A and B are shown apart, each in its own frame.
Chain A
Amino acid sequence: MPLPQPTTPDPQPLSSNARSLLSLALIAYLFGLWVLLSCPLGNEYMSGLHKRLGGLYQAVMGESLAISVTGSPYYIHSGEPFSDDHLLVIELTEGERAGETVTINDQFAAGSQAQQRLRLLAIYIALQVRIGEDAPPAQFAKSLAAHTFQETGATRGVFRLRRHMFQPMELAAGAAEDPDAASYFETVYEADVWLDRDGQVQVLKRSSLEHVAPAVESQS
């Protein structure tokens, strides 16, 4: 009969000092962890003390160890428009595939993490648009257009961020039964994108043509 493999002996009991030091470290860590995990409820749910502690632990633990949930709330759907699906779309108007509409979200397999990431990006851009920030949407429109132009050989198009609303549980009389009907789409952001003579992508937001998006960086 094979002999059972020997095991290392049980450790000596921890000294009182070691236990005290470890306890202090554990209490500090667990307290910070709770502060960080409870921050994403939003500013209106936080006292001044909570905010200060959150800021402190965010810098010490939250950001360096990726513990913080600040950028990604726990709820799946909050009932707000930004919780809906958003699509990144480029309608090609010049070039080899003019007239074609490219949905960037569909470039990756359905249900893949890559597609989920694109959805997160679309929601981030939508949030920026809704709070009135022009620069981030323009920058991302530029990058996504550069990528699409490279893939398709197009030179001009219209970039759109579209909110794809879900059908209500009880369809109202006359409401479209097709969940992909035009009435379920809302254009959140729209901009003309084109390649200039230097091969750089330029962006011009459509809804306010007098307001040219800042060209922080260029993509060739």
Chain B
Amino acid sequence: MIVAIQEYFADLSRCVTESWTQFWFRAAEAKTLSMLRIGIACIALLYVLGYTTDLTFWFAADGVLPVSRVYEISGINDPESGASYWSLLYYFQDPTDLWILHAVTILTLLAFAGGLFSRFTAVASFILVLSYAQRSPIVLTGLIEPILCPLMLYLCLGPCGAHYSIDSVWRKRLGKPTIGKTYAANIAIRLMQVHLSMFFVMMALSKLGASYIWWNGAAMWNVLARPDSPLIDFKFLRSSPLVVYAWTHAIVLFELAYPVAIWVRPLRPLMIAVSIPIWILYALASGNWLLALLMLVMNLAFFTPLAVRPPGDATTGDENAASSSKKIPAHA
């Protein structure tokens, strides 16, 4: 009996160790990471560009949220609170200085999206976007900042400019080899996948824990009937309450299913396909379009580009069939 228990735990230990090693410590190509660089950088660019109309309204010394008020609200100067928020924007309060920093941020993000000096612009973009996110914590922080900032941090960990970038074109012109498989690329992608899955779990649990309205199906009516938030007036659904209830249940079910089903290879394309209408409708009904866009882009984290056959490579029908079987997205 004792031997059987020992064997069980030995097997369990071996199995967990092998799975963990295979999951985290496998060298991977940086193509997915490079695609995510473009997508996330574009979202970050939209996020920062969104401040162009109200930058000084909030952040100038005579604006609505001067630094002293942010310190007071977030408890930055309070030794008891010990808050550790920080932002470059705390040091820029003059409107001219703010505009200069804003322009620098936009240019940095454009360079990052294009893959110019990717290693440097990845870190610079992260610090700059974090500075916007942290400028007014608690008051102006929505749901986009806590997911966008860590994703930008993960991009700094791997060679996100290895493909689809100005850096890669440059490297090619200089005759340098393309960046192949790396451990850092795999770890960065895995962190994104795990983070996203945890986020989905909490989105679902939070809805179910917040109120009974996510159980009785009324929640989506509360969202879409708000007079000022939705991008499209969905109140015509008043005559079809069952559709509203189904919509509410579909969102909760999707958020519960996504973090599990996305890891199952046959279900992955289905989850990605379902996520498209879910997030588009979410954006239209809630007005939170940037978060929806980011979530759609993050589907790429579970996608590996199809293998590109070298030109002129003649293949038979059987070889075609064999190669198409290899085109299943990896990361399983």
How many A-B contacts at CB < 8 Å in the complex? Answer: 211
Tell yes or no: B36 within 8 A of A by CB.
Answer: no
When distances are taken between beta carbons in the complex, the residues of chain A under 8 Å from B77 are: none
Q: Verify A37–B198 contact, CB threshold 8 A.
A: yes
Most A CB within 10 A of own CB, among B205, B287, B310: B287
B134-150 contacts to A (CB < 8 Å): 134, 137-143, 145-146, 149-150
Tell yes or no: B195 within 8 A of A by CB.
Answer: yes
Tell yes or no: B99 within 8 A of A by CB.
Answer: no
Tell yes or no: A19 within 8 A of B by CB.
Answer: yes
Q: How far is the CA of A41 from the CA of B207 in the complex (A)?
A: 9
Q: How far is the CA of A132 from the CA of B94 in the complex (A)?
A: 34
Q: Verify A59–B288 contact, CB threshold 8 A.
A: no
B102-140 contacts to A (CB < 8 Å): 130, 133-134, 137-140
Chain-A contact segment, one of B178-186, B268-276, B296-304, B315-323: B178-186
Tell yes or no: A73 within 8 A of B by CB.
Answer: yes
* Chain B residue at minimum C-beta to C-beta distance from A135: B72
Most A CB within 10 A of own CB, among B65, B143, B282: B143
Most B CB within 10 A of own CB, among A78, A136, A171: A78
When distances are taken between beta carbons in the complex, the residues of chain A under 8 Å from B177 are: 5-8
Q: Verify A65–B130 contact, CB threshold 8 A.
A: yes
Q: How far is the CA of A79 from the CA of B69 in the complex (A)?
A: 30
Query: Smallest distance from the beta carbon of B259 to chain A beta carbons, Å?
Result: 12
Interface size class, chain A: 35 or more
Q: How far is the CA of A220 from the CA of B99 in the complex (A)?
A: 22
When distances are taken between beta carbons in the complex, the residues of chain B under 8 Å from A4 are: 310
Q: Verify B287–A79 contact, CB threshold 8 A.
A: no
Q: How far is the CA of A16 from the CA of B82 in the complex (A)?
A: 38
B8-51 near A? 1/0 per residue, CB < 8 Å? 00000000000011001101000000000000000000010011
* Chain A residue at minimum C-beta to C-beta distance from B225: A166
Q: Verify B141–A65 contact, CB threshold 8 A.
A: no
A53-97 contacts to B (CB < 8 Å): 59-60, 63-69, 71-80, 83-85, 87
Q: Verify A77–B219 contact, CB threshold 8 A.
A: yes
Q: How far is the CA of A147 from the CA of B239 in the complex (A)?
A: 43
Query: Smallest distance from the beta carbon of B253 to chain A beta carbons, Å?
Result: 15
Tell yes or no: A179 within 8 A of B by CB.
Answer: yes
A169-B228 in contact given A121-B140, A140-B64 (Cβ < 8 Å):
no
Query: Smallest distance from the beta carbon of A188 to chain B beta carbons, Å?
Result: 15
When distances are taken between beta carbons in the complex, the residues of chain A under 8 Å from B25 are: 14, 19, 22
A75-B149 in contact given A124-B139, A167-B225 (Cβ < 8 Å):
no
Tell yes or no: B166 within 8 A of A by CB.
Answer: no
Tell yes or no: B223 within 8 A of A by CB.
Answer: yes
* Chain B residue at minimum C-beta to C-beta distance from A111: B231
Q: How far is the CA of A167 from the CA of B85 in the complex (A)?
A: 39
Query: Smallest distance from the beta carbon of A148 to chain B beta carbons, Å?
Result: 11
When distances are taken between beta carbons in the complex, the residues of chain A under 8 Å from B57 are: 114, 147
Q: Verify A11–B182 contact, CB threshold 8 A.
A: yes
Using a Cβ–Cβ cut-off of 8 Å, how many residues does chain B contribute to the interface with A? 88
* Chain B residue at minimum C-beta to C-beta distance from A167: B225
Q: How far is the CA of A8 from the CA of B140 in the complex (A)?
A: 45
Q: Verify A64–B64 contact, CB threshold 8 A.
A: no
Chain-B contact segment, one of A26-34, A153-161, A190-198, A204-212: A26-34
Tell yes or no: B68 within 8 A of A by CB.
Answer: yes
Q: How far is the CA of A10 from the CA of B179 in the complex (A)?
A: 9
A120-B84 in contact given A5-B172, A180-B227 (Cβ < 8 Å):
no
Q: How far is the CA of A42 from the CA of B209 in the complex (A)?
A: 10
Q: How far is the CA of A180 from the CA of B233 in the complex (A)?
A: 14
* Chain A residue at minimum C-beta to C-beta distance from B62: A219
Across the interface, A144 reaches (CB within 8 A) one of B51, B64, B286, B312, namely B64
A74-B226 in contact given A7-B178, A22-B25, A113-B47 (Cβ < 8 Å):
no
Q: Verify B24–A64 contact, CB threshold 8 A.
A: no
Most B CB within 10 A of own CB, among A5, A59, A71, A136: A71
Q: Verify B181–A114 contact, CB threshold 8 A.
A: no
13 contacts between A and B (CB under 8 A): A22-B24, A63-B83, A75-B207, A84-B226, A108-B54, A112-B50, A120-B141, A143-B63, A171-B238, A179-B235, A180-B227, A217-B66, A217-B68
Q: Chain A interface (Cβ within 8 Å of chain B)?
A: 1, 4-11, 14, 19, 22-23, 26, 30, 33-34, 37-38, 40-42, 45, 59-60, 63-69, 71-80, 83-85, 87, 105, 108-109, 111-114, 116-117, 119-121, 124, 136, 139-140, 143-144, 146-147, 164, 166-167, 169-171, 179-180, 184, 217, 219-220
Q: A65-B153, A73-B210, A169-B225 are in contact. List 14 more A-B contacts (CB 8 A).
A: A1-B312, A10-B181, A38-B205, A40-B202, A41-B206, A41-B210, A60-B84, A76-B288, A114-B54, A116-B142, A139-B69, A166-B222, A169-B244, A217-B69
